[in-house]
Amino acid sequence: MKILQIDHIGVAVNSIAAGKGFWSDVLGLEFAGEETVAAQKVKTAFFPVGQSEVELLESTATDGPIAKFIEKKGEGIQHVAFRVDNIEAALSELKHKGVRLIDESPRMGAGGAKIAFLHPQATHGVLVELCER
């Protein structure tokens, strides 16, 4: 498994409209667009930082994973995504190492990326996403 870089940091917000001002106006990051991923009940907004980006996540449904996260923990960093060269190979390697996975095989994320989540119980509390673009 080869991790190439941090792909993005996912930040759960109640509202992208209300939350994006800090990242664009205060920090001066470029707002690179929004995308809704219906399957994950989430709307995302992207702010590139070098080769990585901050990704704001707003739930589109009260039972979505982001809504549940905010209900439990409030707004804040929800996951860290590492870009890998081969996500299938990475998942199979992690499985062999006994790492508990949320996704045994990749699914489609924002921007057409292949993504998969590791279980936070296996990572000392960090929701880790693997991502291949």
- Which residues in this chain contact Zn ion in the complex, by CB under 5 A? 10, 81, 129
Minimum distance from CB of 39 to Zn ion (Å)? 13
Minimum distance from CB of 132 to Zn ion (Å)? 12
Give whichever of 92 and 103 is closer to Zn ion, judged by the CB atom: 103
**81 close to 7: Cβ distance less than 8 angstroms:** yes
Give whichever of 79 and 94 is closer to Zn ion, judged by the CB atom: 79
Query: What whole-number distance in Å separates Cα of residue 133 and Cα of residue 84?
Result: 8
Give whichever of 66 and 81 is closer to Zn ion, judged by the CB atom: 81
Minimum distance from CB of 106 to Zn ion (Å)? 12
Minimum distance from CB of 81 to Zn ion (Å)? 4
Report the relative pairing of strands 76-84 and 34-37 from DSSP bridges.
unpaired
Give whichever of 8 and 98 is closer to Zn ion, judged by the CB atom: 8
Query: What whole-number distance in Å separates Cα of residue 122 and Cα of residue 124?
Result: 6
Start-to-end C-alpha separation, the chain? 15
